[in-house]
Amino acid sequence: MSEHTLLETRRASTRNIPVEQRLAFWEDYNASMLVGLKCSSHSPLGFAATQDNLCLDRLRMARIGGNEHVIERDRSMVRAVPKESIFVSLVLGNQSFFYQDNGCHLLQPGELVIYRTDNPYLFGFSGPMRQFIFDIPHDDFAERCLRNFKGPLKLGAETSVQRLLVRALGERTEDFFDAPWDDGAERFQEEIYDLLASIISDHTGEHRASALSASYLLAAKQYIQDRLDDPTLSCEQVATVAGISSRHLTRLFAQEGGTPSRYLLEKRLERAHHLLASPLGRRLDIAEIAYRHGFSSQAHFARAFKARYGMTPSDVRAR
């Protein structure tokens, strides 16, 4: 893709659809772009909704707005239109409810519900609604967010850290939908995975931090993501930009079981691995890929890459 172009956003709206055809139109569109479902609405004005969809490399997203309605993915729909993903829904607007696995969750605006799409579920909205849906492959969710997820899981309002991170998730996603530049898509995708992992780890108790500490860590990670190609990037530089000391920054990363330098290396290797496996990467020398991701030498890059993935950069390209 060329630089500074917008990703394609697919859009659907019931506005110009006859009232009696809107539900069928909505079901067909969602089956093709998101998930197979059945929709019902008792609004006297008829069902009204809009949806924007974006497809990134390892993440699909939807921004949905509408009036009161209920969607259902029953067992017949699971069989007829199979889909094995983890959905993360950030609910905005009015109160809603979610039912799956014999459990019902009431959701307030600003809360998340995480659920499997291969199990039947019911999702209801009592008034004007907005939501973001993050469609994540099982393997990616297990690697980056939570292993052995059974679901469903409601999050977002338990602690001040969760509220801060969920707010950042919503604001960042809204901004990206408004201007989905292709050269910022990979960084945005990594930010979303990092935010979701932090929200979930706060819930599971794997680490505890104050809201202020979480904001420092978020700022540090975003700064690192922006400068993965800078070979001179240092812990001291990141700490200065985040507004804390290097020692404090190290303590914050230690709460997640890592270090700033390890986080930087992991993100560089992940981005390099992705590029190597892409059509663009096959046209670049491995030395060029190493340089683009902040490695001062091809030998250092190859050693770190093999230690992380168990294969050389050439092996990944060949496969």
Residue 210 is predicted with a pLDDT of 64
Dihedral angle sign, alpha carbons of residues 26, 29, 33, 34: positive
**3-state SS assignment for residue 51:** strand
Q: Among candidates 122, 30, 120, which has minimal Cα distance to 74?
A: 120
Residue 2 is predicted with a pLDDT of 42
**3-state SS assignment for residue 130:** strand
Residue 211 is predicted with a pLDDT of 63
Asked if 169 and 199 touch (Cβ cutoff 8 Å), the reply is yes
pLDDT in tens, the chain (319 residues): 345 699 999 999 999 999 999 999 999 999 999 999 999 998 888 999 999 999 999 999 999 999 999 999 999 999 999 999 999 999 998 899 999 998 999 999 999 999 999 999 999 998 999 999 999 999 999 988 998 898 899 998 777 777 878 888 998 999 999 999 888 898 899 889 988 988 888 787 765 556 677 778 888 888 888 888 888 998 899 988 888 899 999 988 888 788 999 999 998 998 888 888 887 777 888 999 999 888 988 999 999 999 999 989 888 888 7
The conformation of residue 153, written as its DSSP 8-state character, comes to E
- Distance CA(113)–CA(87), nearest Å, equals 8
Residue 1 is predicted with a pLDDT of 39
> Which two tokens mark 43?
């609004």
What residue spans define the domains of the chain? 10-159, 265-318
Residue 142 is predicted with a pLDDT of 93
**What is the CATH code of the structural domain delimited by 10-159?**
2.60.120.10
Q: Which CATH architecture has domain 265-318?
A: Orthogonal Bundle (1.10)
Residue 41 is predicted with a pLDDT of 94
Q: How far apart are the first and last CA of the chain?
A: 22
Phi, psi (deg, nearest 5) at residue 105: -115, 130
Q: Among candidates 219, 187, 206, 100, which has minimal Cα distance to 146?
A: 206
